[in-house]
C-alpha cells in the first residue's frame, strides 16, 4: 500500500472517531441523521421575545410600506405552536415554548390592564417560562408579582430581588427522563433605563456571578443541558459589536461596571448551551455561535411579528446537547404572515376585539377634573453655571417650548445641571422634550426643579419624550399615546399627549399638548407624510367633540418651506382653517435655524384653531440663542444638544 493511502485511512479513522465524539458531547454540532434515533431526545424549542403586547392582527409595514402583508399575530402563533405540538406528539418529541421578556409594554392592548391580557394569552399558549424583562417594571415590582401569580408558568429572574417578591430564579424541566435547566436573567441596567419609582425596593445583581452560581447548582442537581432566558439583548450589528468587544474586553479587570449583552455573556461564561435573548428588537435568522464557548445565541424580532423555532437533540444517556437543526430554509425565524400561517379564527377575533377596545377614541371631559395646583412657585435658584438666561415668563401668557436634547444626558451631570438651570431661568410654563436616553437621569434633573411636574412616554421603542409643566398653574387631567398600537410611521415613538387645565387668572382653560419626534432618515419622508396624515385625522376627529385648544410641538425632522412631493406636512398646511404652524414666520430665517449644523428648521410648534385669536393677540415665536448662554455653539453641542429649543409665548389675555 502506498504511503498516501495509509495517510488517507488514518485521516478517515480519526474523522470517524471525532464524529462519534461530537455526536454525544459537542453542543453546537449541526444536524446529522444519526440524531433521529432513540439515543437522542428531540426538542422543538419555540421562542419569542420583546412582544410588547403586539399580539393583535396587524399589517407588516416594515416588510412593504405600500402594500403591507397581513400578520396574524398571537392567533397565527397559536396555530403554529399547536401544529408543532401535534407533530411532536406523533414523532415522540418534546416542545418548549419560552419568552425572553418585555411582554406587554408598548401597545394599548398590553398596557390597558398592566399586562394581564398578555399573561392570559400566554396561559392559553401554554408557555413553559418567560424572563422578566426591563419593561415588565413599567408599573413596579408589585405588578410583576401579580402577573406572576396569574401566570400558569414561572416568570424567571435569578438576579432580581425585593423584600416583597423574589422571582423564581430557574426551572428544571424533565422531558422523558432528560433534565433541561432554564435560568432567567434581567439586565442589571434596568434601573438606569426607568424612573426611580418603577424599580424602587428592587435590587439587580450583576449577571455573570449569578449565572455561574446557577450553573453550579444545576450541575449538582444533575442537569447537563442548560438554556438561558437572558434579557440582556443582542446588538443591532452583532458581528461588529462582538469584534469590538473582543478587541477590548481583556483589558477589563472585571465587568462590574459594564452593561453586559448576550454576546458577551456567551463568551465569558461556559456551560450555557443556548441563550434565548430578549431586550432588543433586532432579529437574526441564524444563531450566533461563540467561537470560544460554542454557546448559541438566538433572538427574534420584536412586536410578535414572528416566532422562533430551533430543533435540539439531547443525548439521553448524558443529558448533554448534541446538536441542533434550523427548521426553515432561511434559519430559525418564521414571520407570522397569514399567507404562511393561518390565524386561529376564534383567537383572532378575541384579540381584535381587545385591541379595538383599547384604542377606542374617548372624549375628554375636562369638567370632571378637580383643579389642584401646587403652592410651590419659587424654588432655590440654580446658578452652578451662571448662565445669563432671560426670564421669558409673562403674566397672562402661556409659554411653551420644544427641545430635542440629543441622547439626554450627553455629558451626564453637566447636562443635567445645565438644562435644569436653563429651564428654571427661562421660566417657560411647558417644555416638550425629545430624545431622552436615560429616564433615571431625567428624573434626577427634575428633582432640581420641584416647581415642575412631568409625564414621560411609556410605549416608545427607543428615545423617550417628556412633557414638563408648572404645577402651580397647570393641573394634570390625563394622558394618551395615540398610534402606539401601530407606530411604524412614527418610527416607534408614538406621540405623547397630555391634557391640562390651565389657571389663567381666575379662569380655567383646557389645554392639550402633543409632543412628537418624527422619523428622520432613510424612508423618513414617506413615513413622515403618513404619520402627519394620521395625526391630522386624529385631531380633526377630536375637533368634532370640541377639542380645539391643541398645541402640537416637537422634532418634526423636516422643513416647512419644502414644496411638492418632498413636503411632509401637507395635511396641516392644506387645512389653514383649523391648524397653523406658528414657526412658519421664522422658519426661513437662517439665524433662527433650530438645527444649525445643517442649517435647517426642524423643530416646529403647531396650534389648532382654538388658539388662533390668542396667537394673533401679540403672541411671539422664537428660537432661543442657547449658544450665547454657554459661550459658543461648540460648548452647547458638547454639553446639551445639536438642536436649539423653540419657544412660543401665547398671549391668553382677553
Residue 471 lies in a domain: yes
**Mean pLDDT score across all residues of the chain:** 93
Query: 342 and 422: one domain?
Result: no
Query: 168 and 292: one domain?
Result: yes
Query: 335 and 472: one domain?
Result: no
- Report the alpha-carbon distance of residue 120 to residue 73 in Å, rounded: 15
Q: What is the pLDDT of residue 22?
A: 34
Residue 30 lies in a domain: yes
206-262 pLDDT, tens digit each: 999 999 999 999 999 999 999 999 999 999 999 999 999 988 876 666 777 788 999
Instruction: Report whether pLDDT(33) > 70.
Output: yes
Residue where one domain finishes, among candidates 296, 327, 357: 357
Residue where one domain finishes, among candidates 357, 382, 412: 357
Residue 207 lies in a domain: yes
Residue where one domain finishes, among candidates 357, 373, 406: 357
Closest to 554 in 3D by CA, of 595, 507, 495: 495
Q: What is the pLDDT of residue 30?
A: 80
Q: What is the pLDDT of residue 4?
A: 40
C-alpha cell of residue 8:
488517507
- Report the alpha-carbon distance of residue 493 to residue 527 in Å, rounded: 12
Residue 373 lies in a domain: no
Residue 217 lies in a domain: yes
**Between the CA atoms of 586, 591, 597 and 603, what dihedral angle is there, to the nearest 10 degrees?**
-20
Query: 414 and 530: one domain?
Result: yes
Query: 488 and 569: one domain?
Result: yes
- C-beta separation of 532 from 573 below 8 A: no
End-to-end Cα spacing for the chain: 110
∠ CA 196-200-201, nearest 5°, is 155
Supply the range of the domain harboring residue 218: 20-357
Q: What is the pLDDT of residue 306?
A: 97
In this prediction, residue 375 has a pLDDT band, given cuts at 50, 70 and 90, of: confident
Tell me the pTM.
Answer: 0.92
Q: What value does the mean pLDDT take over residues 587-596? A: 97
Number of domains in the chain: 2
- Report the alpha-carbon distance of residue 215 to residue 532 in Å, rounded: 52
Residue 5 lies in a domain: no
C-alpha cell of residue 527:
413615513
394-416 pLDDT, tens digit each: 999 999 999 999 999 999 999 99
Instruction: Report whether pLDDT(271) > 60.
Output: yes
In this prediction, residue 573 has a pLDDT band, given cuts at 50, 70 and 90, of: very high
In this prediction, residue 29 has a pLDDT band, given cuts at 50, 70 and 90, of: low
Query: 340 and 418: one domain?
Result: no
Residue 605 lies in a domain: yes
User: What is the CATH number for 113?
Assistant: 3.60.21.10
Chain-centroid distance of CA 252 in Å reads 29
Residue that the C-alpha cell 435644569 belongs to: 420
Query: 521 and 455: one domain?
Result: yes
Q: What is the pLDDT of residue 88?
A: 98
Query: 351 and 410: one domain?
Result: no
Query: 192 and 286: one domain?
Result: yes
Instruction: Report whether pLDDT(614) > 80.
Output: yes
Residue 633 lies in a domain: yes
Query: 438 and 324: one domain?
Result: no
Q: Which helix (DSSP H) or strand (DSSP E) does residue 220 occupy?
A: helix 207-220
Give the count of beta carbons closer than 10 Å to the beta carbon of residue 514: 24
Query: 407 and 331: one domain?
Result: no
Instruction: Report whether pLDDT(11) > 60.
Output: no
Instruction: Report whether pLDDT(91) > 80.
Output: yes
Query: 99 and 197: one domain?
Result: yes
User: What is the CATH number for 506?
Assistant: 3.60.10.10
Which of 59-63, 283-287, 611-615 shows the lowest mean pLDDT across its residues? 59-63
Listed in order, strand segments (DSSP E) in 103-211 are 129-131, 155-156, 160-162, 170-175, 178-186, 202-204
Amino acid at each position: 500500500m502506498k504511503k498516501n493511502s495509509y495517510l488517507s485511512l488514518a485521516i478517515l479513522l480519526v474523522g470517524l472517531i471525532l464524529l462519534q465524539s461530537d455526536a454525544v458531547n459537542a453542543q453546537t454540532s449541526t444536524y446529522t441523521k444519526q440524531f433521529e434515533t432513540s439515543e437522542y431526545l428531540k426538542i422543538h424549542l419555540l421562542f419569542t421575545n420583546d412582544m410588547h403586547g403586539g399580539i393583535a392582527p396587524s399589517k407588516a409595514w416594515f416588510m412593504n410600506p405600500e402594500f403591507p402583508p397581513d400578520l396574524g399575530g398571537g392567533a397565527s402563533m397559536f396555530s403554529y405552536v399547536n401544529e408543532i405540538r401535534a407533530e411532536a406528539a406523533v414523532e415522540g418529541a418534546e416542545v418548549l415554548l419560552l419568552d425572553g421578556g418585555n411582554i406587554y409594554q408598548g401597545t394599548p392592548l398590553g398596557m390597558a390592564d398592566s399586562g394581564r391580557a398578555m399573561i392570559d394569552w400566554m396561559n392559553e399558549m401554554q408557555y413553559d417560562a418567560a424572563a422578566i424583562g426591563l419593561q415588565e417594571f413599567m408599573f413596579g415590582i408589585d405588578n410583576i408579582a401579580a402577573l406572576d401569580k396569574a401566570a400558569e408558568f414561572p416568570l424567571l429572574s435569578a438576579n432580581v430581588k425585593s423584600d416583597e417578591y423574589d422571582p423564581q430564579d430557574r426551572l428544571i424541566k424533565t422531558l422523558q427522563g432528560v433534565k433541561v435547566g432554564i435560568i432567567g436573567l434581567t439586565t442589571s441596567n434596568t434601573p438606569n433605563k426607568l424612573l426611580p419609582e418603577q424599580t424602587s425596593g428592587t435590587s439587580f445583581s450583576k449577571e455573570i456571578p449569578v449565572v455561574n452560581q446557577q450553573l453550579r447548582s444545576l450541575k449538582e442537581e444533575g442537569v447537563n443541558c442548560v438554556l438561558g432566558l437572558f434579557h440582556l439583548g443582542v446588538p443591532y450589528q452583532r458581528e461588529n459589536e462582538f469584534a469590538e468587544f473582543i478587541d477590548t474586553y481583556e483589558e477589563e479587570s472585571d465587568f462590574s461596571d459594564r452593561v453586559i449583552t448576550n454576546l458577551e455573556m456567551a463568551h465569558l461564561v461556559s456551560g450555557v448551551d443556548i441563550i434565548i435573548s430578549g431586550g432588543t428588537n433586532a432579529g437574526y435568522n441564524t444563531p450566533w455561535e461563540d467561537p470560544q464557548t460554542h454557546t448559541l445565541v438566538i433572538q427574534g424580532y420584536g412586536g410578535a411579528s414572528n416566532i422562533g423555532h430551533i430543533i435540539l437533540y439531547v443525548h439521553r444517556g448524558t443529558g448533554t446537547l448534541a446538536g441542533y437543526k434550523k427548521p426553515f430554509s432561511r434559519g430559525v425565524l418564521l414571520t407570522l404572515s397569514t399567507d404562511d400561517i393561518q390565524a386561529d379564527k376564534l383567537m383572532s377575533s378575541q384579540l381584535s376585539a381587545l385591541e379595538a377596545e383599547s384604542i377606542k377614541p374617548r372624549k375628554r371631559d375636562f369638567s370632571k377634573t378637580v383643579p389642584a395646583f401646587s403652592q410651590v412657585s419659587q424654588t432655590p435658584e440654580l446658578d452652578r453655571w451662571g448662565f445669563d438666561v432671560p426670564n421669558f415668563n409673562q403674566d397672562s401668557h402661556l409659554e411653551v417650548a420644544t427641545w430635542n436634547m440629543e441622547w439626554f444626558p450627553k455629558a451626564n451631570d453637566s447636562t443635567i445641571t445645565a438644562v435644569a438651570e436653563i429651564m428654571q431661568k427661562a421660566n417657560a410654563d411647558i417644555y416638550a422634550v425629545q430624545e431622552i436616553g436615560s429616564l433615571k437621569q431625567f428624573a434626577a434633573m427634575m428633582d432640581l426643579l420641584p416647581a415642575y411636574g412631568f409625564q414621560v412616554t411609556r410605549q416608545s421603542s427607543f428615545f423617550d419624550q417628556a412633557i414638563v409643566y408648572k404645577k402651580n398653574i397647570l393641573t394634570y387631567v390625563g394622558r394618551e399615546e395615540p398610534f402606539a398600537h401601530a407606530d411604524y410611521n412614527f418610527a416607534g415613538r408614538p406621540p405623547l399627549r397630555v391634557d391640562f387645565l390651565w389657571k389663567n387668572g381666575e379662569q380655567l382653560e383646557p389645554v392639550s399638548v402633543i409632543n412628537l419626534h418624527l422619523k428622520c432618515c432613510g424612508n423618513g419622508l414617506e413615513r413622515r407624510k403618513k404619520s402627519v396624515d394620521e395625526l391630522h385625522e386624529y385631531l380633526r376627529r377630536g375637533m368634532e367633540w370640541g377639542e380645539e385648544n391643541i398645541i402640537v410641538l416637537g422634532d418634526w425632522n423636516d422643513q416647512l418651506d419644502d414644496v411638492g412631493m418632498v413636503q411632509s406636512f401637507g395635511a396641516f398646511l392644506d387645512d389653514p382653517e383649523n391648524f397653523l404652524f406658528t414657526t412658519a414666520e421664522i422658519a426661513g430665517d437662517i439665524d433662527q435655524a433650530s438645527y444649525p449644523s445643517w442649517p435647517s428648521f426642524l423643530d416646529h410648534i403647531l396650534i389648532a384653531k382654538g388658539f388662533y385669536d390668542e396667537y394673533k393677540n401679540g403672541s411671539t415665536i422664537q428660537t432661543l440663542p442657547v449658544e450665547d448662554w454657554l459661550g459658543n455653539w461648540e460648548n452647547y453641542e458638547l454639553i446639551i444638544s445639536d438642536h436649539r429649543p423653540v419657544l412660543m409665548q401665547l398671549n391668553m389675555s382677553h
